[in-house]
Structure 1
Amino acid sequence: MTPELQDEGLIRDALRIVEEARRRGVVLRLMGALAIRVHTPEFSELYRRLSRLGGGGSQFTDVDMVTYRSQREAAHRVFTSLGYRPDRLVMAYFGESRFLYHHPQGLYQIDLFFERLRFSHDLDLGPGPGEGRLELDYPTLTPADLLLEKLQIHEIDEKDIKDLVVLLRGHRLSEGEEGDSISVGRVASVLSGDWGFWYDAKANLGKVLEFSRRYREEGLLGEEDLEDVTSKVEEILRYVDETPKTREWLRRARVGTRKRWWREVEELIR
């Protein structure tokens, strides 16, 4: 089976799970790199050119999903009914923040997170069905939340930068939540209330610019691609800079980098 067919099979499986959850009244959404691929189908060729994981193999190796904590048991029943095997050890240690399931034939694993994502920084998608952000898009998180999910990474990998390049290239910017657009209002609202998140997000957007220029030099991006991504990064940075900051943000800014501003992720989820 070719890498492209493996990736398409993974996408089909993921969409089948989300649809089965919807049929049962469970709010379940894709997040992470696979969600970006699903939300930007017209740029699947760009993903291929960038070779997300290198080596010309499959671009995606596992699946990340999110549901509301109040529906985690119902979501669990969805996975087990489809033959996915729960990882009891992971669930015993991290069950308050994460469930883990293995494909029936061991082909891949699925991480199931709950609405308050606690990685390098917090991203709150709650509080629950009918009141949270998961229902704003289907079958993935909104483009703005997919962007924030990547920008919160303190030690960002190149594969995540490639995800950001594709996400930005594939979506226009808007102030509010408008269909297939990245809401800069949502991004600014989150970053203007959390100095540490803002600091890492700004650094990561700078890396997107740096790597995009390199990809252009290597022929992986066209001139139009580079100009589009660059203009969007600059617009996001401008909008965030012009958004008033909370008192908590201002207090934390005075401390700056003298105190650690991110959470060590490995000890929580790996």
Structure 2
Amino acid sequence: MTRPGDFEAGLPASAEAGSANGPGPTLADGVAEAQRLVTALQQEGLTLRLLGGLAVRLRCPSARHRSLARSYADLDFVAPKKQARPLRVALEANGYVADRRFNALHGERRLLFYDQVHQRQIDIFLSVFEMCHKLVLEPRLQLHPLTLSPADLLLTKLQIVELNAKDIQDLLALLLDFPPQETAANPGEQLDMRIVTQVCAHDWGWYTTVTDNLRRVAQEADQLLQAEEAARVRRHIEEMLRLLDQAPKSSAWKLRSLVGRRLQWYELPEEVHR
């Protein structure tokens, strides 16, 4: 599985020359374009939810922090797999060009499109977000009208074994702005730890990657944040680790834990360049 954002700018030879409906009104600003696209597809009865760095930027005031602010090249979404066919049509009608080869090879789980005007890639995961681990998202796509829930945004980042600088910035923004809630009344707006613990308590690999990354982010906080901000992040991480440790584990989790780190527990996404 290729990592989102690994593709270099420019239209690949395998992309279609244009859409049957002509170019749509794509916007230069990424957040505005994401909002426009989600709304346009919603009017057609289609579900699209933003994830990745732009979703963090939209949900987190701390993403504007001087040490956490960063650039956002592409748009990443998730949509129900059953809507893949009408989704392709709707995206072309909204000004996007399909990568025919990629979609033919991977269209059961992921689609790529391009905004030629703004040299931007749009990456759509179908029901499941998969990099180093598999995260089933479709049952929770209705928790928020535009993005994934805070818990799922965190999980899409915490599942990455080889975190880069942008991943750490996004994780710090989320952990600054969303204190963990053992039981959230509104999981679309709060960090509902039931979502996180349910994923990690059934899969030792998930648990191991998530807890490793939480500890790493706690260490990075001092390098990027002021003392009070770093302390807040560490408090949130300590609470998350406590809840993850106390959650009852499945039989499969316990069996896999006996093998431990002697056997690799994750996949590494391939880096594919056009």
What is the TM-score of this pair, normalised by structure 2? 0.85
Q: Is the 8 A contact 1:193 1:246 kept in 2?
A: yes
SS for the counterpart of 1:50 is coil
* 1:256 CA displacement: 0.8
Aligned pairs (5 A) from 1:194-213: 194-213=203-222
Cα distance change, pair 31–21 in 1 and its aligned pair in 2 (3 A): same
**Deviation for aligned residue 1:234:** 0.5
Cα distance, 1:44–1:116 mapped onto 2, change above 3 Å: closer
Correspondent of 1:133 among 130, 137, 140:
140
Over aligned residues, Cα RMSD in angstroms?
A: 1.9
**Which residue number in structure 1 is paired with residue 269 of structure 2?**
265
CA distance in 2, matches of 1:241, 1:22: 39
Q: Could you say which residue in structure 1 is the equivalent of 2:19? A: none
Partner of 2:16: none
State the distance in 1 between where 2:140 and 2:272 align: 24
Q: Distance in 1 between matches of 2:263 and 2:272?
A: 20
Residue aligning to 2:80:
68
1:97-124 C-alpha deviation (Å, 9 max, x unpaired): 1100100315210000011222100111
**Structure 2 residue aligned with 1:39:** 59
Residues 120-139 of structure 1 deviation map (CA, whole Å, 9 limit, x = unaligned)? 0011123xxxxx11001120
Q: Which residue of 2 aligns with 1:107?
A: 119
Contact 1:176 1:186 in 2 (8 A): no
> 1:26/1:269 Cα in 2 relative to 1: closer, same or farther (>3 Å)?
farther
Q: Specify the alignment match of 2:234 in structure 1.
A: 230
Q: CA deviation at 1:223?
A: 2.5
Shift of 1:12: 0.6
Matches within 5 A, 1:162-241: 162-179=169-186, 180-215=189-224, 221-241=225-245
Q: Percent identity?
A: 35
CA distance in structure 1 between the aligned counterparts of 2:51 and 2:273, rounded to whole angstroms: 16
Show the counterpart of 1:155.
Answer: 162
**Cα distance change of structure 1 residues 237 and 8 upon mapping to structure 2, 3 Å threshold:** farther
Q: Offset of 1:173 from its aligned partner?
A: 2.0
Establish whether residue 17 from structure 1 lines up as the match of residue 52 from structure 2: no
Give the aligned partner of residue 50 of structure 1: 68
CA separation of 1:92 and 1:267: change in aligned 2, threshold 3 A:
farther
The TM-score, its normalising length taken from structure 1, stands at 0.86
Q: Could you tell me which of 152, 163, 166 is aligned with 1:145?
A: 152
Q: What letter matches 1:188 in structure 2?
A: T
Ranges in structure 2 where 5+ consecutive residues have no aligned partner:
1-26
Q: Secondary structure of 2:256's partner?
A: helix
| Contact 2:62–2:68 (CA under 8 A) maintained in structure 1 | no
State the 1:225 CA deviation: 1.2
1:90 is matched with: 102
| Distance (Å, rounded) in 1 between the aligned partners of 2:194 and 2:28 | 33
1:246 aligns with 2:215: no
Moved more, 176-185 or 247-256: 176-185
Q: Distance in 1 between matches of 2:76 and 2:273?
A: 12
Separation (CA, whole Å) in 2 of partners of 1:258 and 1:190: 22
Cα distance in structure 1, aligned partners of 2:216 and 2:273: 25
The aligned amino acid for 2:202 is G
CA distance in 2, matches of 1:62, 1:43: 20
CA contact (8 A) 2:132 2:266 kept: yes
Displacement of 1:146 in angstroms is 0.4
Distance 2:73 2:245 in 1: 36
Amino acid at match of 2:131: F
On the 8 A contact 2:68/2:170 being kept in 1, the answer is: no
Asked whether the 8 Å contact 2:128–2:135 carries over to 1, the reply is yes
What is the CA–CA distance in structure 2 between the aligned matches of 1:206 and 1:269, rounded to whole Å? 31
Q: Secondary structure at the match of 1:265?
A: coil
CA distance in 2, matches of 1:118, 1:88: 21
